[in-house]
Structure 1
Amino acid sequence: MTFSWRPAPGPVVCIGETMAALAPEPVAPLRSADLLRLDVAGAESNVARYLADHGVPVHWVSALGNDPFGQRVLDRMCASGVGVSGVRIDPARPTGLIVKDPGPEGTRVHYYRSSSAASAMDPRVLAGDPVRGAALLHLSGITPALSASCRALVEAALPSDPADRPYAVSFDVNHRPALWADGTAAKTLRTLADRADIVFVGLDEARMLWGGELADAQAVRALIPRPAVLVVKDGARAATAFLGSATVTVPALTVEVVEPVGAGDAFAAGFLAGLLRGSDPVRALRRGHLTAVSALRVTADHGPLPPGDLLEALLDADDPAWAGTVGIAYPEDVGHPSSLPEPGQ
Structure 2
Amino acid sequence: MTAPWPPAAGPVVCVGETMTALAPEPPDSVETGESLRLSVAGAESNVAMYLADLGLAAVWLSALGDDPFGRRVRAAVAAAGVDVSGVRSDPNRPTGLLVKEPGPTGTRVHYYRRGSAASALGPGILDDPRLGSAALLHLTGVTPALSPSCAALVERALATPAPDRPYAISFDVNHRPALWPDGTAATVLRDLADRADIVFVGLDEAQHLWGADLDAGGVRTLLPHPRLLVVKDGGRAATAFGDGTQVTVEALRTEVVEPVGAGDAFAAGFLAGLLRDGDLISALRLGHITAASALSVIGDHGPLPEAGTVERLLGLTERAWAERNTPERAGHTPSSPPLTGRPEAGTRCAHRRWRR
Tell me the TM-score normalized by structure 1.
0.93
Does the residue aligned with 1:101 lie in a helix, a strand or coil?
A: strand
1:38 maps to 2:38: yes
1:254 maps to 2:253: yes
Query: Residue in 2 aligned with 1:331?
Result: 334
Task: Quickly say closer, same or farther: Cα 1:57–1:277, change in 2 above 3 A.
Answer: same
- Partner deviation per Cα, 1:153-191 (whole Å, 9 max, x = no partner): 000000162245321100000000000015311011000
Does the residue aligned with 2:108 lie in a helix, a strand or coil?
A: strand
Task: Quickly say closer, same or farther: Cα 1:211–1:166, change in 2 above 3 A.
Answer: same
1:269 maps to 2:268: yes
Comparing 166-175 and 19-28, the one that deviates more: 19-28
Matches within 5 A, 1:146-295: 146-159=146-159, 161-214=161-214, 216-295=215-294
Deviation, 1:238, is 0.3
- Separation (CA, whole Å) in 1 of partners of 2:268 and 2:319: 25
Q: Is the 8 A contact 1:170 1:198 kept in 2?
A: yes
Opposite residue 62 of structure 2, the aligned amino acid is S
- Separation (CA, whole Å) in 2 of partners of 1:279 and 1:8: 10
- Separation (CA, whole Å) in 2 of partners of 1:207 and 1:281: 24
- Separation (CA, whole Å) in 1 of partners of 2:342 and 2:196: 36
1:303 maps to 2:302: yes
Task: Quickly say closer, same or farther: Cα 1:27–1:14, change in 2 above 3 A.
Answer: farther
Aligned residues: 336
Comparing 95-104 and 6-15, the one that deviates more: 6-15
1:315 maps to 2:323: no
- Separation (CA, whole Å) in 2 of partners of 1:99 and 1:337: 28
Does the residue aligned with 1:323 lie in a helix, a strand or coil?
A: helix
Q: Is the 8 A contact 2:255 2:340 kept in 1?
A: no
- Give the alignment's Cα RMSD to 1 decimal: 2.0
Which structure 2 residue ranges, 5 or more long, are not aligned? 344-356
Does the residue aligned with 1:92 lie in a helix, a strand or coil?
A: coil
Task: Quickly say closer, same or farther: Cα 1:338–1:92, change in 2 above 3 A.
Answer: closer
- Partner deviation per Cα, 1:235-269 (whole Å, 9 max, x = no partner): 01100001211100000011110000000000000
- Separation (CA, whole Å) in 1 of partners of 2:317 and 2:264: 26
Tell me the TM-score normalized by structure 2.
0.90
Deviation, 1:221, is 0.3
- Partner deviation per Cα, 1:209-238 (whole Å, 9 max, x = no partner): 001121x11000000000110000000110
